[in-house]
Chain A
Amino acid sequence: MLVSPENLVYTKTPLMTDKPLSYCPGCGHGTVHRMIMEVVDEMGIQADTIGIAPVGCSVLAYEFMNIDMQQAAHGRAPALATGIKRCWPDKYVFTYQGDGDLAAIGTAETIHACNRGENIAIFFVNNGIYGMTGGQMAPTTLPGMRSSTTPYGRDVALMGNPLKITELVAMLPGTFYVSRHSVHTPLNVRKFKRAARMAFENQKLNKGVSFIEIVSNCNSGWKMSPVDANKWMEDNMFPFYPLGDIKVNGEMVSKPTKAE
């Protein structure tokens, strides 16, 4: 019999709870959650890992990840992670944040945690808008990109430039590993998982922040089907937010691209 336990090659990790995810169909949040939990599972650190959930669609991440978690006030996850890690330096501590959380209301916490070099991991899901509250413009919204508050597209002259916060934190001395990924294809998911593993392994070295951006779709907010949203993301988000490593082992490996 083909379908029997000895032939099993893939199933959802038990470090994801059995609660149905609250995310829209095709939303990358679920995949990012699961890959982080696969890494925690494979490293055998379930009892020693503490996650910080944000405000945003992933506010309920603690319902889905089968580890100890604490939910932070909007944007304050890196500050909360700092406190927990400093009290408990042997634990693996990570934040999980959207772009509204990390790059708008939480910019100060993000930058200062990264500059201080807290020994934590930050997972940053960038979908270019505020998903949870109805698709408003975020600092990360692309020039010309439609959102519920920029129905004619983001006008940079009026609304300012999008913020590449990942390139920004890579310039800070406190970041040790900075990398940008996506989870919309199997290959990209596997690459992200390797990066997530590195982010957890790095915490053993005590050398600063591991910061991983995941460019992801908010298909509901973008008003597209999931498959179309992923295509749109490849065509529009990736040229502006190029995938790949930016900083590895404390050394810059790619020159930050200028915001056009």
Chain B
Amino acid sequence: MAKIKGAIVIDIERCKGCEVCIVSCPTGVIRLEKKVNGKGYHFAYPALPDNCTGCANCAVVCPDGVITVYRKKVEE
């Protein structure tokens, strides 16, 4: 069966750790890293990347526009 798989890439040096993407992801993919970036912000990362459907909710709502989204149909 064909399945939609998504992936996100976060520009961690520009992420401000606001968590708006985290509460906007319907499948709970994103979390905040304990480490901080060069600006001192905890940054977002895809903690459960396999759950990503590529819906782009996180990227659309990110105030700093630091998320890029990919999506592909894969055969199982």
Which residues of chain A have a CB within 8 Å of any CB of chain B? 2-4, 7-13, 16, 20-21, 23-31, 34, 183-186, 189-190, 225-227, 230
Contacts and interface: CB of A to CB of B under 8 A. Distances in A.
Interface residues of B, number: 32
B12 interface: no
Interface in B48-76: 54, 56-72
Contacts of B61: 31, 183-186, 189
Interface centre among B17, B18, B23 (most CB of A within 10 A): B18
Contacts of B56: 9-10, 186
Contacts of B14: 20
A30 B65 CA distance: 8
Interface of B: 5-7, 9, 14, 16-20, 22-24, 41, 54, 56-72
B14 to A, nearest CB: 6
Given A2-B70, A7-B70, A26 B65 contact: no
Contacts of A24: 16
Q: Main SS of the interface on chain B?
A: mixed
A204 to B, nearest CB: 26
B34 to A, nearest CB: 17
A230 B20 contact: yes
A183 B63 CA distance: 9
A226 B70 contact: no
A27 B19 contact: no
A16 B65 contact: yes
